[in-house]
């Protein structure tokens, strides 16, 4: 029995966590969850985003499934995601964006995987107040972190029979920082002669994604661009409710939906659990439970293709519970 640390999160987190637990149990995957309350409520109650017992669980189990956690804007505590990524050096944020059956989207040929460097760039959170009207933020790009995320992207392409890796950068302006990332990409690409390699300035990449998404296969980029472009990619496949992600380090891996905690619909049984379900499938693949992951995916695809049971965010009126029950029925 493989033990997984489960963070129930804030807002809609507990609801979609309950959905995922039911589906994984129905798949008969060899998984047991250790559950913890984390996030804003935990912080307000006990002064810490994540209790020590939860950290102990992570360091014992090495795998985390995490529901969305609220991060205050402009004040308050730091992002729980950033904290975990830094603490456990979860350097590779992998976000696959692929069209799903019968989900309305602007395009029907999207199949891209974004590799986002997860530990540096502006997300180090180093800001300095120079005076009342001036703040400096520090952008950090290193050869070490650039090499490992770029190599991870090429290795993924090789292992998954992908044809191309695209580097996204702003080296025309940020000649030293993004210039370093681009030069490392160009060096490493020579080690993979059977995989096409190209590069896009980030603003051009955004335009091409919304005009010709079929140009992109595997994409690799620094932290900030990865955060922005993966949200853009979700819009190409129907929204954030359908975008899963993995955060992979040398010893520990965390799987989470990309979307936020949606406090406006929390507790109303309206949330779409698909992104967290697909993230759980990525987790099952990571744990070598490939057949169980595929069983869940096929059930999700079947329910979406039939189109009879849809949550409100994709044009239906089904509750979270009704949508979950439809997936369970498709698995039976």
Does the annotation mark 227 as catalytic?
yes
Non-local CB neighbours of 196 within 8 Å, separated by 6+ positions: 163, 164, 165
Smallest CA-to-CA distance from 154 within 179, 181, 190 is with 190
Does the annotation mark 133 as catalytic?
no
Q: Which of 66, 227, 270, 323 is catalytic?
A: 227
Token duo for residue 21: 């637990």
Token duo for residue 162: 């992908």
Smallest CA-to-CA distance from 114 within 275, 204, 224, 273 is with 224
Does the annotation mark 192 as catalytic?
no
Residue 294's SS3 state is: helix
Q: Which of 8, 21, 66, 170 is catalytic?
A: 170
Does the annotation mark 203 as catalytic?
yes
Non-local CB neighbours of 46 within 8 Å, separated by 6+ positions: none
Integer Cα distance of 282 and 280 in angstroms: 5
Q: Which of 111, 231, 285, 325 is catalytic?
A: 231
Integer Cα distance of 61 and 43 in angstroms: 23
Integer Cα distance of 222 and 91 in angstroms: 11
Does the annotation mark 198 as catalytic?
no
Q: Which of 30, 108, 198, 203 is catalytic?
A: 203
Residues designated catalytic: 123, 170, 203, 227, 231
């Amino acid at each position: 029995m493989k033990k997984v640390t489960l963070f129930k999160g804030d807002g809609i987190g507990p609801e979609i966590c309950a959905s995922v637990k039911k589906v994984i149990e129905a798949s008969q995957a060899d998984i047991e969850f250790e559950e913890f309350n984390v996030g804003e409520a935990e912080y307000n109650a006990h002064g810490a985003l994540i209790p020590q017992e939860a950290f102990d669980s992570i360091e014992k189990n090495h795998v985390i499934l995490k529901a969305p956690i609220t991060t205050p804007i402009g004040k308050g505590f730091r992002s729980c995601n950033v904290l975990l990524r830094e603490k456990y050096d979860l350097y590779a944020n992998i976000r696959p964006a692929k069209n799903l059956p019968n989900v309305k989207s602007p395009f029907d040929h999207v199949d891209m995987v974004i590799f986002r460097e997860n530990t540096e760039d502006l997300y180090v959170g180093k800001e300095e107040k120079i005076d009342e009207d001036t703040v400096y933020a520090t952008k950090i790009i290193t050869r070490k972190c650039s090499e490992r995320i770029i190599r991870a992207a090429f290795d993924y392409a090789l292992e998954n029979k992908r044809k191309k890796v695209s580097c996204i950068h702003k080296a025309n302006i940020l000649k030293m920082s993004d210039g370093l990332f681009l030069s490392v990409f160009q060096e490493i690409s020579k080690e993979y002669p059977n995989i096409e390699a190209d590069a896009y300035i980030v603003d051009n990449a955004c335009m091409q994604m919304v005009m010709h998404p079929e140009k992109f296969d595997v994409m690799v980029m620094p932290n900030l661009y990865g955060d922005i472009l993966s949200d853009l990619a979700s819009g190409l496949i129907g929204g954030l409710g359908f975008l899963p992600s993995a955060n992979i380090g040398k010893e520990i891996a965390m799987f989470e939906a990309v979307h936020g905690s949606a406090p406006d619909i929390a507790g109303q049984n309206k949330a779409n659990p698909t992104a967290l379900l697909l993230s759980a499938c990525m987790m099952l693949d990571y744990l070598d439970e490939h057949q169980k992951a595929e069983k869940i995916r096929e059930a999700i695809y079947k329910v979406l293709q039939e189109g009879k049971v849809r949550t409100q965010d994709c044009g239906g009126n089904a509750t979270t519970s009704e949508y979950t029950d439809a997936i369970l029925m498709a698995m039976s």
